Structure 1
């Protein structure tokens, strides 16, 4: 099972981000566009795991979620990894209660490591992926770099399974736990 921990976005935010993709396409930006169903904030990528790891994962997520109250996040701006000059991923930025977001993510990360999960050690950068392998040479994106897309309340953490289906990634929520 290919798994990751994340935050699901409300349908209204997904709709606005889909409209933004259309705006980018009209500007001439090309790439492998993410579907609205796949918009999310990844907190921790877990990779390929056996189903017998699920009880430990769900217990860890429940334990960490109980220590956090719901918080607000805002979606705004446009960026790219590793940079806008050499992009391989086009994303929208996250702002708002970033301290709460990072603390939640860090606690989940530390608890998973304590439970012998092997995790990526690169710095966490909150974002929502819009497209992979974007191409926008000679396109002026300054008009959309600071665009605001809305805000929402983070009230739960989700354990997702990522499967390939007909050449596309399909994300299925396996477990949800509320922030208290």
Structure 2
């Protein structure tokens, strides 16, 4: 009995911290994703149910670290109020000639979002020495390129007009990600609420 419990505690959990999108926002992003798919780009297409804005990828962590992470998240946002961010353009990682990911993001990054991400990053150092992001680049992944892309087709995909998609930021989620042959399965382990604005 004790041996089983110890084994469970030692099993790493793949986690990240993110802003989870509401249903209407996921629906708008799914339309953009469908427009990209219609151009003929050969890619993998994440489920709209998994659309999210990552604030911090934690990687594989021990279960013992979870209470500290939850506490630090709560402390980080205790004085922060809800806000909106606007996504309105498509981009690619790492570059157009060697595309791996097509994403949607903002043409101008919200200062409140930058502050939220930075403060979470700093607070979590009290729990574990997580890898620091070189530069926070807010985005939502819409597709993962699976084959060498035809450059003309790919450029056509990036020219799609996304319109203005408003994303409300009112919660921060600690998410567990389980990888499977059919794709990642996400489940919220903890959520912290921002104050009403």
TM-score, with length taken from structure 2: 0.84
Greater Cα shift, 47-56 or 127-136: 127-136
Q: Distance in 2 between matches of 1:149 and 1:55?
A: 37
Q: In angstroms, what is the RMSD of aligned CA positions?
A: 1.7
TM-score, with length taken from structure 1: 0.92
Change (3 A) 1:95 1:58: farther
Structure having the higher Rg: 2
C-alpha displacement at 1:95, in angstroms?
5.4
Structure 2 unmatched ranges of 5 or more: 1-12
Change (3 A) 1:79 1:142: closer
- Corresponding residue for residue 184 of structure 2: 169
C-alpha displacement at 1:152, in angstroms?
2.6
Is 1:131 the counterpart of 2:143? The answer is yes
Provide the aligned length of Structure 1 versus Structure 2: 179
Change (3 A) 1:136 1:127: farther
Kept after mapping to 1: 8 A contact 2:173/2:188? yes
More helix by share: 2
Structure 1 stretches of at least 4 aligned residues deviating more than 6 Å after TM superposition? none
Q: Distance in 2 between matches of 1:82 and 1:164?
A: 23
Structure 1 unmatched ranges of 5 or more: none
